Amino acid sequence: MTVRSRTALAAMVTLGLGTVSGVAHAVDTEVTSDTAAQFYDVRSPSGDTVLARRRLTTSLGVSAYDLLPRDKVADPMAPEINFKARLRYDADYGASPEETNPANTARFIPGFDRGPVDLMYAYIEGRHFLHHTVDFKIGRQYVTDALGWWSFDGAEIKATTPYYVAVEAYGGLEERGGMPLSTGRFEADGAWRGDRTGFNTALAPSFQQSSNAPAFGAALETAGFTWLHSRLSYRRVYNTGESLTSMYTNGLTSPVSYDGTRISTDQVGYSLEADAPKYGAFKGGFAYDLYNVKMSNMYASIDAFATKKLIVSLDYDYVSPTFDADSIFNFFDIQPMNDFGVRADLDATDRLSFAGGAHARAFSTETSPQTGTGSTTAPQSPNVSTGTSTLGYFPASQLQFDGGGNFAVRYKTGTGVYGLRSNGSFGSDGDRVGGDLYGERSIETRFLVSGRTSLYQWDDKLRPDRDATSFGYTAGVGYRFLPRNKVMFEWEHNINRLVGQRFRAMIMLTLAVMP
């Protein structure tokens, strides 16, 4: 573990313990940790080791509740202040140090960190202020709604009115890779950013220097209903700092760059959830990209409670990828995907349950005209006029369809769970079908055993020589030394003709302490 990692983890522990010991009244506290160590090699079809993985992923969480004195019995809705934080360390000791050395241009991978530390969240939360109407959060936090998962450093305030409506506003800086204690997993896709410190602009110009990204958003949502939740949300994020305009360099001049504040993402979304306990439930929503001027996502799901034991569901998802406004991918025409599904869940008895479904995907691609199984011709792509000549893009292909299904059965006992899962996906370019048997059991509440065996066959019609059948199994043992504390060891072995044999060992430790 690096010095930076040890310092960050020590700071988290100190902050958590300081919060616990510095308050005289009763404070509920909790410290949690999850650690997983993995050891495996990723081999090429020739059998040579191309990647050695020695991964250690650990997280440390600290929570402190009721930092304000209050009488929970007399007034359970009295104002309260809580603190929550979680830090993650995700290292790969199998990677070569040369992959982080800018001087070794043959091995260097821009943005790669062998042991990154990121602060997942750390915020102070206030609830039930101003006569139970105002809540707030200050610090690094998540926002989850129709616009997806998002993380920022800043403040959020939420006011609940007596008219079944809550108003929310937030602002701060988007969490971005390359910044201290940050990860890029919540950024918009399409831009490769990080910390360029230590290597010149002629090296990997497509790798952009990460800069502050001011952001703000607002939302209106229902409040007070037990059967209905509706949320309308808006979010805008800005790019700042220098950006290189070329992905390549000619070796003679420095890449051209531009600077200034500009839009990164600009989106509006809506979601609706309704529940009628005797009949069923509905969930739906959309996300609209105001910068790209198109619908990026739509979804709808209907659950029908046919009987007390049987639920039948219909699903629809529409996805059209969108990207950061600085991304070159905004230049290309992106074709959407439409997914349809039907599901059924049956609890035959208190112990035995069944689940199954079927799905289909309709899509087209930007390519040359083709003939095939499609039944509908998609519209031609727009042409670009250049003086007296017209350059036409390839038209979108006919609609293509992929489909498949799945089936699962599960049996629960007092100390274990056993089941079968199977699924298949079929399309004009390839098929995949298979399943697995699994089981988990605790012995005398402390000893844990688990196992899984799987068999899959895939058929790549574009590369017939890549067809293969794969067999694998996993065996695990563990020990639970407290109700929320356990250690597990797993061994995994997979076999197929393309890669030969692959092995993976994993050790997992889960801790939860409530002083």
Which pLDDT tens digits describe the chain residue by residue (515 residues)? Answer: 444 444 444 444 444 444 444 444 568 899 999 999 999 888 766 666 678 889 999 999 999 998 988 777 677 788 999 999 999 999 998 888 888 888 888 888 888 888 899 999 999 999 999 988 999 999 999 999 999 999 999 999 999 999 999 999 999 999 999 899 999 999 999 988 888 887 776 778 888 889 999 999 999 999 999 999 999 999 999 999 888 776 666 566 666 778 889 999 999 999 999 999 899 999 999 999 999 999 999 999 999 999 999 999 999 999 999 999 998 888 887 889 999 999 999 999 999 999 999 999 998 876 554 444 444 444 444 444 344 434 445 566 678 889 999 999 999 998 999 999 999 999 988 999 999 999 999 999 899 999 999 999 999 888 888 899 999 999 999 999 998 999 999 999 999 988 888 899 999 999 998 76
Return the residue matching tokens 């739906």.
284
Nearest to 232 by CA among 201, 269, 259: 269
Confirm if 215 and 173 have CB atoms less than 8 A apart.
yes
Return the residue matching tokens 């030394």.
481
Helix, strand, coil percentages for the chain (3-state, nearest 5): 5, 55, 35
Return the residue matching tokens 């509740």.
65
Domain-wise residue ranges, the chain: 1-66+80-115, 133-322
pLDDT at site 25:
59
CA distance 172 to 21: 31
Instruction: Characterize the bridge pairing of strands 208-209 and 193-194.
Output: parallel
- How far lies 360's CA from each of 277, 313, 315, 335, 403, in Å? 29, 14, 10, 17, 4
Hey, which bits of 175-213 come out as E strands?
193-194, 208-209
Nearest to 456 by CA among 427, 429, 425: 425
pLDDT at site 340:
97
pLDDT at site 346:
97
Which residues touch 379 (CB under 8 Å, ≥6 apart)? 395, 396
pLDDT at site 451:
98
pLDDT at site 21:
40
Q: What are φ and ψ of residue 331, in 5° steps?
A: -75, -30
CA distance 456 to 423: 9
- How far lies 258's CA from each of 225, 242, 262, 376, 432, in Å? 50, 6, 11, 44, 47
Maximum Cα–Cα distance across the chain: 83
pLDDT at site 249:
63
Return the residue matching tokens 């983890």.
9
Give the three-class secondary structure for 201: coil
